[in-house]
Amino acid sequence: MFIPENNRYEKMVYNRLGNSGLKVSAVSLGLWQNFGFGSDFANAEKMVHTAFNLGITHFDLANNYGHPYNGSAEENFGKILDRGMREYRDEMCISTKAGYEMWDGPYGDKNGSRKYLTASLDQSLKRMKLDYVDIYYHHIFDPGTPLEETALALDNAVRQGKALYVGISNYNSRQTEEIQKIFKELRTPFIVNQPSYSMLNRWVERDNLDKYCLENNLSLAVFSPLYQGFLTDKYLHGVPDDSRLAKGGAPWLEGQLNDEMLTRLNKLNDIALSRGQKLSQMALSWVLHNKAVATVLIGASRPSQIIENAECINKLDFTEEEIREIEEVLK
């Protein structure tokens, strides 16, 4: 039986999403990897318990997590809830997403149609045995579906009581602005965009997405803040044999860990050490330093990583000199 720590809310930082009443932990747990079919269930359960005991309240899923067994991460999360955590459901902010390929045929492919989004949410709720999710995201912009249809489908999920708030993911600033106009007309509780963002991937700054969200009462919930592990001490001396990169688990990163990248990572590591942090902790603190960011979504393969990364909240401030040094390395 799971009995959480009594002091779990004493250290974590909680930030409001947009101008809503919903707060989320500054560090959130994403269940993309290591929670699906074939993963060590006992380890997955321990990671969720560890996160909750650290004051992490936001658990982020998607319909296709657990690929190639789509939905298996949600199923396992539902099992974890059943094994002693369901009584704490009201202390959690649980989100899921839909948008990528999910099931066979034209209605389950990559899209944002009303049919797909409605059916997918019903499936997700069934897998997790939930009456509702706190946040329901459209996972990726779909140029083949009218934006109004996607917005109406998300709004309908709220009106049906199957989601409390809605969000979008992988939308740029222009797409975010367009759908927000529709949500305002519908009075939909649209509060968050979930993009990738890190020291090594700063497209949200170039796109002015962070600026737009800050000025328009939206927050960013950032995924891949450690750039798939590059911003940890794991890759400071090259590609280790047990890494996802070595095993072909991140083909989009192949060729990026060259001498220039290694030099950059080691310089960033030196700055982190001078701050009394590990590189991963500084990378998370740096992302949270952006006022548009409410939470960073971390992934993990073992509980110790969650404990280590959650400590980023102990040093969220940067001196002007530290920012200057970091920018010099990243330019």
SS (H, E, C) 244-300: CCCCCCCHHHCCCCCHHHHHHHHHHHHHHHHCCCCHHHHHHHHHHCCCCEEEEEECC
Structure tokens at 148: 């109004």
From first to last of its 331 residues, what are the pLDDT tens digits of the chain?
899 999 999 999 999 999 999 999 999 999 999 999 999 999 999 999 999 999 999 999 999 999 889 999 999 999 999 999 999 999 999 999 999 999 999 999 999 999 999 999 999 999 999 999 999 999 999 999 999 999 999 999 999 999 999 999 999 999 999 999 999 999 999 999 999 999 999 999 999 999 999 999 999 999 999 999 999 998 898 777 666 665 666 666 667 888 999 999 999 999 999 999 999 999 999 999 999 999 999 999 999 999 999 999 999 999 999 999 999 999 8
Residues 6+ apart with CB under 8 A from 139: 62, 63, 97, 98, 99, 100, 169, 170
| Euclidean distance between CA atoms 188 and 218, whole angstroms | 13
Bridge-partner residues for 165, per DSSP? 135
What is residue 325's predicted lDDT score, i.e. its pLDDT?
A: 98
What is residue 240's predicted lDDT score, i.e. its pLDDT?
A: 72
Structure tokens at 48: 């969720």
What is residue 266's predicted lDDT score, i.e. its pLDDT?
A: 97
What is residue 249's predicted lDDT score, i.e. its pLDDT?
A: 60
What is residue 244's predicted lDDT score, i.e. its pLDDT?
A: 61
pTM for this entry: 0.94
What is residue 241's predicted lDDT score, i.e. its pLDDT?
A: 64
The domain spans of the chain are 14-229+279-314
What is residue 68's predicted lDDT score, i.e. its pLDDT?
A: 86
Give the CATH class of 14-229+279-314.
alpha beta
Residues 6+ apart with CB under 8 A from 304: none
| Euclidean distance between CA atoms 325 and 174, whole angstroms | 32
What is residue 205's predicted lDDT score, i.e. its pLDDT?
A: 98
| Euclidean distance between CA atoms 221 and 296, whole angstroms | 6
| Euclidean distance between CA atoms 87 and 80, whole angstroms | 11
